[in-house]
Structure 1
Amino acid sequence: KTLCYNLPVLNTLLADPTARAMYLFPTKALAQDQYAGLQAIIDAAGVDIKTYPYDGDTPAAERKLIRQAGHIIITNPDMLHSGILPHHTRWHQLFENLRYVVIDEMHGYRGVFGSHVANVIRRLKRICRHYGSNPQFILASATIANPGELAGKLIEFDVEVITRNGAP
């Protein structure tokens, strides 16, 4: 499932080194796992794409480097809410050039947590507009009955649902 968003994101970043992407995962543990997998792809390809996890455990000394040099920021909704959006002026390079927002494990964003995440995404979109960017949102999920409805509620956009598995 991750290749369906990693490949277009990496392709865009290779074509435009100023472009940026943000990946949201519901937990730090999942974010760390996905970071390791993505970094393995980048290392195997031998390309210069800087990918960093950014969460509550990120050392203060590394945060400035991540803000300035990160092509892909891997985080979670709570860190986006409390550590990135309130400090958007420090993250201007990200927001000015944000091309993709990937939201994985979408099926976990229901109920109160889903409402919270929808509000955080609403704030993210407003800040992106302020900096002149209009990122494409890519949402991925395990099999659920209503992926289009849930995705539409989370990001408040019309969505195109892709369910066909093209894997060999």
Structure 2
Amino acid sequence: MAINVLTLVGSLRSGSTNGQLAEAAVAHAPEGVEVTLFSGIADLPFYNEDIDVEGQVPAAAAKLREAAGSADAFVLVSPEYNGTMPAVLKNAIDWLSRPFGAGAMTGKPTAVIGTAFGQFGGVWAQDEARKAAGIAGANVLEDAKLAIPGSLTRFAELHPKDDAEVAAQVSEVLVALKGAAEKNLVAQG
């Protein structure tokens, strides 16, 4: 049985290096890991408790929650916008955090990776994403990190999936998620 890792990308731009990094995760998933890219993040309305009513949840949010509910683990891929994570990624985390204490991320292993043009590879944004996911109930793996600096130059002519160093690093993150997800499944019986 493969571990299902749901991946949320915080960039909506076509050709995004973070989107490409998520594609690298799909391409280099280790044996026993299936990486699924969630494609509806742009369709999510901003979280509002008034519209989060059982039986009336917006279709895009219901689709996200359904995908997250069947996931064993998560990879959040975050660029850095003005020193923090993009609003679309935070909004997705907000939708997954409800109902409080029983959201779709609760207890599930989660890793945050990303790339940015700056010299630190978006670590501020990734730290914020880890913080938000942890508060949402996720089991954030603090040691499963990947921040790649200089994205625009590093990936100008080379897709991240074709970069041997990136491929190995992404695979390491997924191996860590697999181990944590397997422990969860054993604990659940």
* TM-score, reference length from structure 2: 0.42
Bigger fraction of residues in strand: 2
Bigger fraction of residues in helix: 1
